[in-house]
Structure formats: structure tokens, C-alpha cells
Amino acid sequence: MLTRIDHIGIACFDLDRTVEFYRSTYGFEVHHSEVNEEQGVREAMLRINGTSDGGASYLQLLEPTRPDSAVGKWLEKNGEGVHHIAFGTADVDQDSSDIREKGVRVLYDEPRTGSMGSRITFLHPKDCHGVLTELVTSRTEH
């Protein structure tokens, strides 16, 4: 399945619903959650994987706890999401097929060639809480 990303922050209207989407669609689990009163957010850190240097990759999901918070104001203006997130996978064909079976629209019938000879496809942002999501198999993996 999906193996890597950098830490990406995603603003959302309903944290529980967004966490459930990432859990049921991709298999990511919450590593840490908290309410940051100063920032006016409730957050969940979804751990993607560890690295050989002891680090990890995460998605940070943010729900405002009050409309005047920075995230609340951003959501009001922009809606949920970021431009896109690129997830690495050893098998873009299989993973896109598995995700399609879960009801998420995959934008390409067959993966296409991306940067540096990679194979890519995108998932429809309306099925991914406003986030255009890219699946990437690097050239060295296929």
C-alpha cells in the first residue's frame, strides 16, 4: 500500500469524518491527537511510516475549534484541503485499483508517466475531502 509522504497539514471541517476517510481508504491510523487551545484547533497526526533515521511521515489533520482561529478563517475562505499530496507506493496499479474498489474516483484509467520516469495517477479531490491526491511509483520501483 502507500509507503511515504512528508508532513502535510490538511484543514478539515469534521476531524472525525476526515480521520475515518484516511483510515478506511488508506489504512492510516492516528498516532497522536490533541486540542491546541492557543491555535484554536483539534488535530490528529496520522503516522504514515518510520524511516531508517528514526523519523516518521505524517499527515496533520486540523479542525478549527473556533471560527476566528487561523484554520477556521482559512477554511471559510478556501474550503477543505491543500493543492495536492503525493503518496509513494511500490505498485500504483494495484493501489489505485484497490482504492477505486472502495468508491474513490481515480482520474486516469491507467497510470501515466510522471517526473523522472515515475508512474502516476490522481484521485478525485471531491472524494478525498478536497485534497487532490497523487499516487506515485518511482522509476526505481517498477
**What is the rounded distance in angstroms from the CA atom of residue 128 to the CA atom of residue 31?**
20
Active site residue 94: no
Which amino acid is present at 92?
A: V
The reply to whether 134 belongs to the active site is yes
Catalytic residue among 39, 60, 110, 129: 60
Question: Of the residues 43, 63, 80, 129, which is catalytic?
Answer: 43
124 is catalytic: no
Catalytic residue selected from 63, 80, 129, 134: 134
Name the E strands within the chain: 2-4, 8-11, 29-36, 41-50, 56-64, 84-89, 112-113, 119-123, 132-137
The answer to whether 83 is a known catalytic residue is no
**What residues act catalytically?**
7, 43, 60, 84, 134
